[in-house]
């Protein structure tokens, strides 16, 4: 028994080390758009209150807690890529640990190891754990809040009530969609009360503890964050777009990071098998409601709808897949067991190969080229060359440049600059939204056949 326990824990720490080793190379890559927005607008500020002064800013409001952590770390250790991303890595690794603890306690040791392994290798996990955003924190709080919630139902205590309420309140500061955790707990408590109505008196302490924790979570979340985010909430409530009919399929594909056919179908089948398992009876309604949240958001047709907003689903997806794999092996016992092991091993090997060689579109969104394009411009230009920039957030390029970069509010300003310089390289962020004056600059360059080089959605124009 002690020998098996040692092997299990050794395998788990190998998974943790593997996750860290795979994430470290991406920690020092150049900032992408969302990261640079926070860096240039808030982290470079020397006034901490500036972080709170733009609570209606959509880019900041969804990741307020992360911005605060990054602010203190960058002012203490320096404004470097790895420093700003360090909290994301810590939250990501911690989410693997809590997933393992939760699944090991309530489902099984083998399922815990498999789900932890899959989470550690998944492309979304690596992207979120190496990006200065709150998505890896969503993973952590999803598992930590869930773990505390079920511990509270097992053994009610004031300490657990306080810890659960505090965890839920903090989770919302890292991403507003973590509200789904609180709502799932509320829904699960209601289902729990209905299923056990004949034993209500015996379960009264459990229900009261759970309701107290969930109620405190909702109350203090509204008290703390609503004043900072009311403009954002009003904006999203009033602005709608056409229904995106394929979003559920896109969400599944992005989170699994494999083609829907055939790998996605196999993984989805394992999820269904894992969900109907009797071991999940106590937590099934909780997980189902978490998966219902994206559907409710989808049909409401919000102005902003991205797969990464539902990061909290990722550990539960791999929990279900892992349990489905375990049940498949148990079902085919006997002479077919070796064959099933080989088939499952081949499928998982192909999934992992695909993860390592074919990054998903969502993962590509977390890679920018600002550092590369500025470095290339400085390499090919002389000291007499003047830099300029236009397009959305044209001031981002200055962060990586050792030379001053001129930006323009109007087309006339650009024309004046153009006629005064002998040698010019101009950076541009191509894509909506682009102001009309900046569109005129772009049209001028295209009409005059200025040579350009593309760095993803960024352009470098050799004007003179």
Count the Cβ atoms, other than its own, within 10 Å of residue 40.
16
Tens-place pLDDT, residues 309-347: 999 999 999 999 999 999 998 887 766 778 888 999 999
Tens-place pLDDT, residues 345-399: 999 999 999 998 877 777 778 888 999 999 999 999 988 899 999 998 899 999 9
Residues 6+ apart with CB under 8 A from 443: none
Helix (H) or strand (E) holding 269, with range, is helix 265-276
Which residue in the block uniquely carries the two structure tokens 């080229």?
A: 369
Range of lowest pLDDT (85-94, 97-106, 133-142, 432-441): 432-441
Asked if 166 and 206 touch (Cβ cutoff 8 Å), the reply is: no
**Which residues are 240's β-sheet partners?**
302
Helix (H) or strand (E) holding 428, with range, is strand 424-429
Domain positions in the chain are 12-359, 370-462
What tokens appear for 350 in the block? Answer: 């192909």
Confidence of residue 200 (pLDDT cuts 50, 70, 90): very low
Tens-place pLDDT, residues 155-186: 888 899 899 999 998 998 898 889 899 889 98
Distance CA 74, CA 72 (A): 6
Per-residue pLDDT at 1: 66
Per-residue pLDDT at 231: 62
């Amino acid at each position: 028994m002690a020998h098996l326990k040692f092997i299990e824990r050794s395998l788990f720490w190998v998974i943790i080390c593997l996750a860290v080793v795979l994430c470290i190379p991406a920690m020092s890559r150049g900032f992408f758009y969302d990261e640079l927005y926070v860096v240039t607008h808030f982290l470079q500020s020397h006034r901490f209150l500036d972080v709170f002064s733009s609570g209606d800013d959509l880019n900041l409001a969804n990741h307020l807690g992360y911005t605060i952590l990054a602010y203190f770390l960058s002012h203490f250790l320096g404004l470097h890529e790895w420093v700003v991303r360090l909290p994301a890595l810590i939250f990501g690794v911690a989410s693997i640990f809590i997933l393992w603890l939760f699944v090991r306690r309530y489902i099984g040791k083998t399922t815990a190891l498999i789900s932890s392994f899959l989470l550690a290798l998944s492309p979304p996990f690596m992207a979120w754990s190496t990006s200065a955003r709150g998505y890896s924190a969503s993973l952590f709080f999803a598992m930590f809040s869930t773990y505390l919630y079920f511990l509270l139902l097992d053994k009610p205590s004031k300490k657990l009530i306080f810890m659960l309420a505090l965890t839920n309140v903090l989770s919302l500061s890292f991403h507003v969609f973590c509200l789904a955790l609180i709502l799932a707990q509320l829904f699960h408590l209601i289902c729990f009360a209905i299923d056990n109505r004949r034993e209500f008196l015996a379960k009264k302490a459990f229900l009261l503890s759970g309701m107290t924790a969930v109620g405190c979570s909702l109350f203090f979340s509204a008290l703390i964050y609503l004043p900072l985010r009311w403009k954002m909430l009003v904006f999203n409530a009033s602005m709608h777009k056409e229904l995106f009919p394929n979003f559920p399929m896109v969400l599944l594909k992005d989170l699994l990071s494999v083609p829907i056919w055939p790998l996605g179908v196999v993984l989805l089948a394992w999820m269904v098998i894992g969900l109907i398992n009797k071991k999940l009876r106590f937590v099934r309604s909780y997980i189902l409601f978490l998966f219902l949240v994206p559907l409710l958001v989808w049909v409401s047709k919000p102005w902003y709808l991205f797969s990464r907003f539902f990061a909290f689903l990722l550990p539960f997806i791999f929990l279900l897949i892992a349990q489905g794999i375990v049940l498949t092996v148990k079902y085919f016992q006997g002479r077919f067991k070796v064959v099933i092991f080989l088939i499952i091993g081949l499928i998982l090997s192909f999934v992992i190969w695909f993860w390592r060689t074919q990054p998903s579109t969502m993962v590509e969104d977390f890679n920018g080229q600002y550092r590369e394009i500025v470095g290339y411009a400085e390499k090919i230009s002389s000291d007499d060359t003047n830099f300029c920039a236009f397009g959305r957030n044209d001031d981002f390029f200055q962060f990586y440049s050792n030379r001053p970069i001129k930006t323009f509010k109007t087309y006339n300003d650009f024309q004046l600059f153009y006629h005064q310089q002998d040698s010019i390289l101009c950076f541009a962020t191509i894509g909506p939204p682009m102001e009309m004056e900046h569109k005129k600059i772009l049209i001028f360059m295209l009409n005059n056949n200025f040579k350009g080089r593309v760095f993803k959605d960024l352009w470098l124009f050799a004007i003179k």
